[in-house]
């Protein structure tokens, strides 16, 4: 990959208030599993687009290679707790932080659109998805 990045994980998560109250924080669980295996992982919980931009800057500065975003979505948008971002806007925000890096996403309801976006992307963005419930 690149000598400028480390093969570590950076997780950004943003879910519904109900998920927060029920402790359904899959990104936090992923961080714990990765850390139990002896690897490094950072975890940030956000609720807004403004916080997403700040978290993406932190990811870039961290020199970690893998960015995992855990959120909800629909066929047209990535959904944060308090904001909704059309895929085009989300892609524009994230793309600038991914040089020599990889993006993994667990936004199950938006997975089909993300997969289509990946197939047409030329910047090397990798999207991996868990099956919808």
Residue range 99-122, pLDDT digits in tens: 889 999 887 655 454 444 444 444
CATH 3.30.1390.10 fits 6-120, yes or no: no
Averaged pLDDT for residues 60-85: 94
Sort residue 19 into left (φ over 0), alpha (ψ -120 to 50) or beta: alpha
- Report the pLDDT value the prediction gives residue 2, as an integer from 0 to 100: 53
For residues 70 and 103, is the Cβ–Cβ distance under 8 A?
no
Q: Which two tokens stand for residue 119?
A: 């197939």
- Report the pLDDT value the prediction gives residue 7, as an integer from 0 to 100: 93
- Report the pLDDT value the prediction gives residue 106, as an integer from 0 to 100: 85
Instruction: State what percent of residues in the chain have pLDDT above 90.
Output: 65
For residues 67 and 97, is the Cβ–Cβ distance under 8 A?
yes
For residues 13 and 45, is the Cβ–Cβ distance under 8 A?
yes
Beta strand residue intervals within 5-120, DSSP E: 6-14, 41-45, 64-73, 77-79, 84-86, 102-106
Summary mean pLDDT of the chain: 83
- Of residues 11 and 130, more confidently modeled: 11
Averaged pLDDT for residues 67-81: 92
- Report the pLDDT value the prediction gives residue 107, as an integer from 0 to 100: 74
Domain ranges for the chain, please list them.
6-120
Instruction: Give the other-Cβ count within 10 Å of 37's Cβ.
Output: 8
- Report the pLDDT value the prediction gives residue 110, as an integer from 0 to 100: 53
The answer to pTM > 0.85 is no
């Amino acid at each position: 990959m690149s000598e400028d990045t480390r093969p570590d994980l950076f997780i950004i998560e943003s879910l519904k208030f109900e998920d927060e109250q029920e402790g359904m924080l899959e990104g936090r669980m992923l961080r714990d599993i990765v850390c139990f295996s002896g690897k490094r992982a950072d975890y940030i919980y956000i609720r807004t687009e403004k916080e997403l931009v700040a978290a993406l800057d932190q990811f870039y500065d961290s020199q970690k290679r893998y960015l995992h975003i855990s959120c909800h979505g629909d066929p047209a948008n990535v959904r944060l707790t308090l904001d909704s971002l059309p895929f085009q806007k989300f892609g524009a925000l994230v793309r600038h932080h991914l040089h020599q890096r990889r993006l993994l996403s667990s936004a199950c309801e938006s997975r089909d659109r993300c997969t289509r976006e990946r197939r047409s992307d030329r910047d090397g963005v990798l999207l991996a998805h868990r099956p919808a419930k």
